[in-house]
Each structure stands twice: as structure tokens, then as C-alpha cells.
């Protein structure tokens, strides 16, 4: 389902050492290596991907189609298509997802709520430990 469409390109970067205070709106792809204090939202009309790296932190609401987290988030997260939680992911807030991939070591302090279309069950994938 998710591999049929080509991933949007990551066109923007918030670099390590950068601090953004305020809301961020983006289309296509965004990678965050720095710090954002504010909401991070992808536009609804285009496929989107958001990468929050190991060095990144976000304090605010996050909304995008495909979200990959390996840093820290304080606030609610909504992944309209797929949420990937890498081993160093730390989320303090409720999480809404259509599909979820969670690696060992990732932590969520909050509720997990599937986004259901009709009566479909959400897709859950457990990541294998590659060690």
C-alpha cells in the first residue's frame, strides 16, 4: 500500500544547531535535525514526508502523511499514512496513525489511536531487531 507511490523528495532542512520558534508549514518533504518550538504541519493537498532525526526535538503538534521519528517530540502526532518510530524516538503526547512501525527502544507516553477508514483494522508492523 505504501510502496506503490513514490516518496516525495525532502526539499527542506532545519539543521542541527538551529532553533525555530513558531509554526512550520511544508509540502513534499522536510527533515528536522535542529529544534522546533511550534507546530509542524504538512499541507493536505500533496503527499508529504517528515523526518525527525536523532538530534532533533519538536515541541508542538505534528501532522504529515509519512512521519519518521528518531528524536524527541512533546505534543500530539498525526500520521495520515505511516508512522515509523526508530529506536531513539521519544514521544510525549497522543499518537494518531493509519499504519505504525515501531522499533525496539522507541517510547510513547500517551495514547495510540488508529485512524480507521470504515471498519478496517490498522496495520501494525513490528520491526525486527537486526543485532
Taking the C-alpha atoms of residue 62 and residue 20, their distance in angstroms, rounded to an integer, is: 14
How many degrees, rounded to 5, is the angle at CA 40 between CA 36 and CA 46? 145
Q: Does 61 have pLDDT greater than 90?
A: yes
Total domain count for the chain?
1
Q: Are strands 24-26 and 40-42 parallel, antiparallel or unpaired?
A: parallel
- 102 lies in some domain: yes
Reply yes or no on whether the pLDDT at 34 is more than 50: yes
Q: What is the mean pLDDT of residues 27-53?
A: 96
Q: Which three cell numbers stand for residue 102?
A: 515501531
Chain mean pLDDT for the chain: 90
| 110 part of a folded domain | yes
Question: pLDDT for 64-121, tens place per residue?
Answer: 999 999 999 999 999 999 999 999 999 999 999 999 999 999 999 999 999 987 655 5
1, part of any domain:
no
Confidence grade of residue 6 (pLDDT, cut at 50, 70, 90): confident
In a domain, 4, yes or no: no
Q: Which domain holds residue 79?
A: 12-126
In a domain, 7, yes or no: no
More reliable by pLDDT, 8 or 90: 90
Amino acid at each position: 500500500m505504501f510502496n506503490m507511490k513514490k516518496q516525495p523528495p525532502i526539499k527542506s532542512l532545519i539543521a542541527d544547531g538551529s532553533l525555530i520558534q513558531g509554526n512550520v508549514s511544508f509540502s513534499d518533504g522536510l527533515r528536522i535535525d535542529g529544534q522546533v518550538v511550534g507546530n509542524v504541519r504538512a499541507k493536505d493537498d500533496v503527499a508529504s514526508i517528515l523526518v525527525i532525526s536523532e538530534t532533533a526535538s519538536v515541541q508542538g503538534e505534528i501532522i504529515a502523511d509519512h512521519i519518521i521519528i528518531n528524536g524527541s517530540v512533546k505534543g500530539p502526532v498525526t500520521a495520515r499514512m505511516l508512522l515509523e518510530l526508530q529506536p531513539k524516538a521519544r514521544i510525549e503526547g497522543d499518537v494518531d496513525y493509519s499504519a505504525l512501525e515501531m522499533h525496539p527502544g522507541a517510547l510513547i507516553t500517551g495514547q495510540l489511536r488508529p485512524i480507521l477508514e470504515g471498519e478496517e483494522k490498522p496495520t501494525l508492523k513490528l520491526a525486527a531487531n537486526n543485532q
